[in-house]
């Protein structure tokens, strides 16, 4: 039983963990894509709004104004800074806080790509401990290419959101595992281990003749006959008795299924009178579920009436149709 509980618990834990991991991976993937697209869109909008002013300052060779512009937009809503380049890719004005980052070859490469293709370009990259999104767009004076503007955002918050989701997933999975273990133990204890233990105890008592549990009904003593009126259904029809006797069965009918065999439904602990009956017609079911002993069930009104009819008649419909040759 412990091995069954352990296997069931481990299987459920593995299943819940796998589902949680797959769900979280998909959620992280979708959220990252959404945050990246949002950051790209914000960079494009900012680039379009700044491009005209930067182009005008480049036409006037106003480097002081360019430096003031790139410093003015630093550290705003994840915006790390700006950088302005000439047509050869040499920096003209760069936000001081990102100068070491923009000197990196991969950062320079995205600027050169925008200048070479004369088209905006962007990339997400990690330089040291910094996570960046760089958006570079070409600058023009009429049809002439006069430089490039690079907009640098700190994209580290995207990674932080991913870590937050994984952390919440771990805590959620841990809570689910604890609940699964507790619920599984309760189910195994109440629905499997308990009934099996009671059945084993009953079978042991049946073999030894000791340890039987007495019926729990007020007014019932230790000896028979008992008050069985509540288990009797008066004037109930025999559903299998249609007035015919196809096999010519007559009392005295020594049915071994009744006298020598014991048929018990293992789920309901119901005593079946024989292999063709779940209960004696006209009487309630008899169940050995701990409320009565075997002898009390054997001497219940239905079983007594069944044995009387086998000996004296009239036979029940099931007995007249029983194909077994007893």
Task: Name, in order, each residue with C-beta under 8 angstroms of 1's C-beta and a sequence gap of 6 or more.
Answer: 188, 192, 193, 196
Q: Is residue 58 part of a domain?
A: yes
- Residues 156 and 236 placed together within one structural domain of the fold: no
Q: How much is the pLDDT for 194? A: 65
**Token digits of residue 22:** 């797959």
The contacts of residue 297 (CB under 8 Å, 6+ apart) are: 271, 286, 287, 288, 303
Residue 204 domain-assigned (yes or no):
no
Q: What is the mean pLDDT of the chain?
A: 79
User: Is position 202 within any domain?
Assistant: no
- The answer to whether residues 114 and 263 belong to one domain is no
Whether 242 and 133 share a structural domain = no
Among residues 131, 160, 189, which one ends one of the domains? 160
CA distances to 24, 71, 154, 235, 322 from 133, rounded to whole Å, are: 24, 18, 6, 88, 85
CATH of the domain at 155: 3.30.450.20
Does the pLDDT value for residue 315 go beyond 50?
Answer: yes
CB 300 within 8 Å of CB 286: yes
Please state which of the ranges 37-41, 204-208, 218-222, 303-307 shows the lowest mean pLDDT: 218-222
pLDDT at position 80 is 87
pLDDT score for 215: 39
Question: Could you tell me if 146 and 67 lie in one domain?
Answer: yes
CA distance 67 to 273: 100
In a shared domain, residues 154 and 248: no
**End-of-domain residue from the set 137, 160, 183:** 160
Place of tokens 């909008």: 45
137 with 267, same domain?
no
* 166: Cα separation from own chain's centroid: 17
Looking at the structure, do residues 13 and 121 belong to the same domain, yes or no?
Answer: yes
Count CB-CB contacts under 10 A for residue 317: 20
**212 assigned to some structural domain:** no
Picking from 160, 181, 207, the residue at the C-terminal end of a domain is 160
152 and 244 inside one domain: no
Tell me, yes or no, whether 183 lies in a domain. Answer: no
Top mean-pLDDT range of 14-18, 213-217, 222-226, 304-308: 304-308
Pair (151, 237) in one structural domain: no
In a domain, 188, yes or no: no
Between 32-36, 67-71, 74-78, 189-193, the lowest mean confidence (pLDDT) is in 189-193
- pLDDT value for 124: 92
Residue 184 counted as domain residue: no
Same domain, 11 and 128: yes
Domain total of the chain: 2
Q: What is the pTM of this model?
A: 0.50
Segments forming the whole domain that contains residue 317: 229-321
In a shared domain, residues 143 and 275: no
Answer yes or no: do 109 and 28 share one domain: yes
Domain annotation covers residue 178: no
Q: Percent of the chain beyond pLDDT 90? A: 8
Alpha carbon distances (Å) from 78 to 50, 95, 98, 294: 17, 14, 13, 80
């Amino acid at each position: 039983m412990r091995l069954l509980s352990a296997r069931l618990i481990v299987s459920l834990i593995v299943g819940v963990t796998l589902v949680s991991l797959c769900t979280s991976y998909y959620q992280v993937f979708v959220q990252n894509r959404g945050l990246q697209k949002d950051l790209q869109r914000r960079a494009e909008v900012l680039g379009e709004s700044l491009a005209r002013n930067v182009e005008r300052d480049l036409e006037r060779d106003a480097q002081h104004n360019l430096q003031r512009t790139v410093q003015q937009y630093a550290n705003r809503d994840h915006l790390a800074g700006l950088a302005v380049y000439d047509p050869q890719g040499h920096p003209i004005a760069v936000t001081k806080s990102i100068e070491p980052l923009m000197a990196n070859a991969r950062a320079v490469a995205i600027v050169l790509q925008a200048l070479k293709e004369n088209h905006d370009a962007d990339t997400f990259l990690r330089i040291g401990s910094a996570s960046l999104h760089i958006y570079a767009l070409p600058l023009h004076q009429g049809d002439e290419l006069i430089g490039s503007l690079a907009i640098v955002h700190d994209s580290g918050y995207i990674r932080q959101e991913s870590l937050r989701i994984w952390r919440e997933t771990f805590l959620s999975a841990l809570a689910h595992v604890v609940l699964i273990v507790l619920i599984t133990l309760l189910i195994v204890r109440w629905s499997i281990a308990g009934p099996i233990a009671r059945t084993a105890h009953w079978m042991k008592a049946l073999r030894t003749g000791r340890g039987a549990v007495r019926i729990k009904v007020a007014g019932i003593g230790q000896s028979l006959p008992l008050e069985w009126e509540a288990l009797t259904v008066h004037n109930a029809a025999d559903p299998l008795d249609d007035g015919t006797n196809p096999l010519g069965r007559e009392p005295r009918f020594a049915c071994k299924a009744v006298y020598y065999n014991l048929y018990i439904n293992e789920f309901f602990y119901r005593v079946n009178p024989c292999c063709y009956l779940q209960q004696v017609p006209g009487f309630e079911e008899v169940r050995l579920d701990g409320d009565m002993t075997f002898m009390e069930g054997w001497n219940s009104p239905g079983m007594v009436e069944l044995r009387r009819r086998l000996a004296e008649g009239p036979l029940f419909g099931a007995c007249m149709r029983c194909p077994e040759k007893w």
